Homo-oligomer: A and B are copies of this chain.
Amino acid sequence: MTITIKDIANKAGLSPASVSRILTNRGRFNAETAQKVRDLAESMGYFKNQSAADLSQKESRVIGVLVPSSHTNFADEIIKGMQSKAYELNYELIVAFVESDIQQQIQTVKSLLSRNLLAIAMLAIDIDDTVLAVLLDTNVQLISVSNQLNNKIPSISSNNYDTVHDIVDYLYDNGHRDIALIGSSRPEPIVANLRRQGFINALSEHGITYNPDFIWGVENTYQTGLDAIKHFGVPLPFSAAIGSADIISIGLLNGAKDAQLSIPEDLSIVTIDGTDLTQLTRPILTSTKQNFQLMGQLAITSLAEKKLSPHTIIFTDTTLVLGGTVASPLQRGKEN
């Protein structure tokens, strides 16, 4: 036997309508009766039945969040940002993890979609086209966080072009001329493309023709980092490497150690992401830190404002955080 608004109304000598207004803070009501009702609700152990509310309301305040179940240690930070903002603006988050299995993805998405959502936010997901089709077919707002998809969906992310460009500049200024970019190089994710372009253009602006071999890797995994060292062999043909994700860079660092290389003397590393993982290595990783919390907050506010067009792209800042993985090889006469 659950307590309903009606029960409260009876006990308070009011109508369900009034109780509803009071409990949701909508419309006009007497402050004193309001307090009485709230006390009553509390003491009777009332819980709102959100399903009933959803059913009778047009406007939803629920935002679905799709998170890749594969270990992405920054998803937490984005969610944290989203949650604090959602709490503040009185929105509710429903988080769903998506596996790599497409059928399961569709089922997850459908179960989300069956809940009258205001919007769905996708965190760092390269979503499958068939799943995306399902999503686009509905009228919930969509947003991609920390990843730019095709311009069918608005997105919030770092400026990946600039980020890599800046890293190259930084490495160049430290005397590096032979630089590698390690990580997912599939053409499809726009992010990988932008990074590649930033990489190539920055080198070119410094008068360096990039070596296509130095853009290497398939996935953004630890193994990719480890493999990279084995692939290129010792001595490495480059003096610095950019890791497309912290976990890759840790792979690079461990791979280098396993090959008896010294960091940063034999290999400088700059990593993209800058999560807490960077603090766990020795030396600590030099990184360009993305502002994941801010991404999360902006996701909520912009969804709340409902001014997003499919082409909207919002960039958040990145910060160069110095660790101990960049050396200056100038003295080694590496200049060209």
Contact = CB atoms under 8 A, between A and B. Distances in A.
A277 B277 CA distance: 9
A96 interface: yes
A290 interface: no
Nearest to A84: B99
A133 B111 CA distance: 30
Given A49-B55, A51-B51, A55-B52, A95 B95 contact: yes
Nearest to A1: B139
Copies in the complex: 2
A92 B76 contact: no
Interface stretch (A32-40, A113-121, A141-149, A208-216): A113-121
A44 to B, nearest CB: 11
Given A49-B114, A73-B73, A97-B80, A257 B282 contact: yes
A237 interface: no
Range of interface residues on A (Cβ < 8 Å): 35 or more
A69 B80 contact: yes
Contacts of A94: 94-96
A152 interface: no
A51 B55 contact: yes
B97 A96 contact: no
A107 interface: yes
Interface in A59-93: 69, 71, 73, 76, 79-80, 83-84, 87, 92-93
Contact of A92 (B84, B111, B281, B282): B111
Given A73-B73, A280-B250, A51 B115 contact: yes
Contact of A45 (B54, B137, B257): B137
A258 B254 CA distance: 17
A47 B282 contact: no
A222 interface: yes
A79 B50 contact: no
24 contacts: A45-B137, A47-B113, A47-B114, A47-B138, A50-B51, A51-B54, A51-B55, A51-B115, A52-B55, A69-B76, A69-B79, A69-B80, A69-B83, A71-B73, A73-B73, A92-B111, A94-B94, A94-B95, A222-B280, A257-B282, A258-B282, A277-B280, A280-B280, A280-B281
